[in-house]
Amino acid sequence: MTVESGTEIGKVGVIGLGTMGAGIVEVFAGGGLQVVGVEYSLDLVEAGRDRLRHSTERAVRRGKLAADGRQALLDRVTFSSSFDDLADCDLVIEAVSERLELKREIFRRLDEIVGADGILASNTSSLSVTEIATATARPAQVIGMHFFNPAPVQRLVEVVQTVSTSEEVVAAVVALAHRLGKHPVVAGDRAGFIANALLFGYLNRAVTMYENGHVSREDVDTAMRVACGYPMGPLALLDLIGLDTAVEVLATMYRQTGDRLYVASPLLGQLVTAGRLGRKAGRGFYTYESAGSGALVDDARTPVPRSVAHDVTRVGLVGSGAQVKAVGAMLEAAGVEVRRDSTAADCDLVVAAASGVPVIELAVAAGRPSDVVGMNVPMPDSDVVQVVRTVEASDAAVESAASLCLAAGRTPVVSADRAGLVVDALLFPYLNDAARMVESGYTTADGADAAMKLGCALPQGPFEVLEEVGLGVALGKQWAIYDEVREPGLVPSPLLVELVTAGRGFRD
């Protein structure tokens, strides 16, 4: 294949036949390409061959692949323990462990073996493709081609272009991804590319929130699943990824960027040191039935189930804005009498509709701070109600408020009295990170949306969320979160500020 000629890639090589590498072999062979799968020993070759056989057998059982199609796919794959068998490949991709020197050594060898027109690709998820490319004499033909696990199922492929990668190589790899039925998103060579850069910042913030006692592990996970529609909560997702893997990814991203967002929460490191690596170890943030199981079992941190029973008959409601209406409707659905503002004194419980003002200020003004809790409905169509626990609120008041939520058919999440509570405090900094990414020219709004929906299975991309809530609302919430802690990484994106001022959107 000559890249400049636009000839289709017809033969590919895959180095590393673990779970990811074997999956990439299956994708290429399923797309009609001839594939050479290479490992370092015959034992590893056989293990890779078995992974491919078992995966395609499952696909046949599930009706995803016909039996004759499976055989044709397998016939297109040859296996080897010799790099020399990659010499006539049009493209070779490595899928070995995330060790920079190992990948550089592989690329040095490939540079000597693969034909002069061959494209060399890395499936790295966090390392610098530019650094890998410097091991070769052909940096213009080196590119990142980051598949997501499991590769046969996940549609996203991040195509990572370095400052040296030629446009012809980018076009050839994008065309190949389309041919394979994937959705390619082109990104610059930045730490974590798109999906991991946004995902791991969000996950790290969630760990810090839990570590600081802002919210329980169950409630932070429930909040993001139920309010935002995420498939998993952040702590449960980290257990699935592996806490050791998360620490390694964050460390790599911090080394490349110097951004404190990627300094792993101390709790992550402590859990790894203790051997609590997540599901694969049977313990992480949660405890599981056995190593590798996803079934949870109770442990010392498992909370007592909340009860719908309560002895509240009258609730005083204070505050202003749209939250008063939303919280008031929820309380009425719980079957209690709701008294507002000046009539709130003679009540069993006082609820402050939390909408930007610290609840403790309203609690002190009410003259009975131990009986005052905050409530916030973060999303109009969500079942979640955030119950705000101030430093003065009694346990009885907090539990009564949670019980009222249950009585109304809602899902209570208890949070400390902090800017953004749980949902906004995790959601809007993530949206701000995405805005900064586009501002830097690193990707587009469409690219970021596709990456997060296809790569992380989120129901909406960050810019779809921004368009739904409104850029002005998002900017106001981000300023409030920044103002509380003055962390430089939380300063609103200048592009977001500019667009709000101009009355424009990210796609205008």
Let me know whether 360 and 256 are in one domain.
no
- pLDDT band with cut points at 50, 70 and 90 for residue 5: very low
Task: List, in order, residues 6 or more apart from 455 with CB less than 8 Å away.
Answer: 148, 154, 156, 158, 194, 195
Does residue 225 carry a pLDDT above 50? yes
Give the residue-averaged pLDDT of 494-506.
97
In a domain, 381, yes or no: yes
Residues 145-168: what's their mean pLDDT? 95
Instruction: Collapse the DSSP code of 144 into the 3-class scheme (helix H, G, I; strand E, B; otherwise coil) and give the result.
Output: strand
Answer whether residue 179 is part of any domain. yes
Domain with 291 in it: 198-297
| Cα–Cα dist 84/363, whole Å | 74
Are 15 and 158 in a shared domain?
yes
Q: 113 and 169, same structural domain?
A: yes
Q: Is 133 exposed, middle or buried (0-12, 13-18, 19+ CB in 10 A)?
A: buried
Confidence of residue 366 (pLDDT cuts 50, 70, 90): confident
One domain, residues 401 and 487: no
pLDDT at residue 343, as a whole number: 63
Domain match, 13 and 90 both: yes
How is 256-303 classified by DSSP, letter by letter? HH--GGGS--HHHHHHHHTT--BGGGTBSSSEESSTT---EE--TTPP
Residues 110-155 have pLDDT tens digits of 999 999 999 999 999 989 999 999 999 999 999 999 999 899 999 9
**CATH number of the domain that 474 lies in?**
1.10.1040.10
Number of folded domains that form the chain: 4
Determine the angle formed by the axes of helices 234-241 and 195-211, rounding to 10 degrees: 120
CB 376 within 8 A of CB 353: yes
Task: With 0.75 as the threshold, say if the pTM is over it.
Answer: yes
Task: Please compute the mean of the pLDDT values over residues 78-97 and round it to a whole number.
Answer: 97
* Terminal alpha carbon distance of the chain: 40
Mean pLDDT of 223-243: 96
- What is the Cα gyration radius of the chain? 26
Residue type at 449 in one-letter notation: D
Percent of the chain at pLDDT > 70 equals 98
Contacts of residue 58, defined as CB under 8 A and 6 or more positions apart, other chains included, come to none
Is 156:195 a contact under the CB 8 Å cutoff? yes
Q: Domain for residue 392, yes or no?
A: yes
What is the percentage of the chain residues whose pLDDT exceeds 90?
89
- Average the pLDDT over each of 169-178, 193-202, 339-348, 362-371 and give the range with the smallest value: 339-348
CB-CB contact of 453 with 487 (8 Å) = no
Q: Is there a domain that residue 226 lies in?
A: yes
Strands (E), 84-141: 91-94, 119-122
Does residue 93 sit in the same domain as residue 226? Answer: no
Q: Give long-range contacts, CB 8 A cutoff, 24+ apart: 494-499.
A: 494/439, 495/435, 495/436, 495/438, 495/439, 496/432, 496/435, 496/471, 499/471
pLDDT of residue 273: 98
497: Cβ contacts below 8 Å, ≥ 6 apart: 475
Within this chain, do residues 181 and 55 fall inside the same structural domain, yes or no? yes
Contacts for 357 with CB less than 8 Å, ≥ 6 apart: 319
Tokens of 93: 């991709």
Catalytic residues: 125, 146, 158, 196
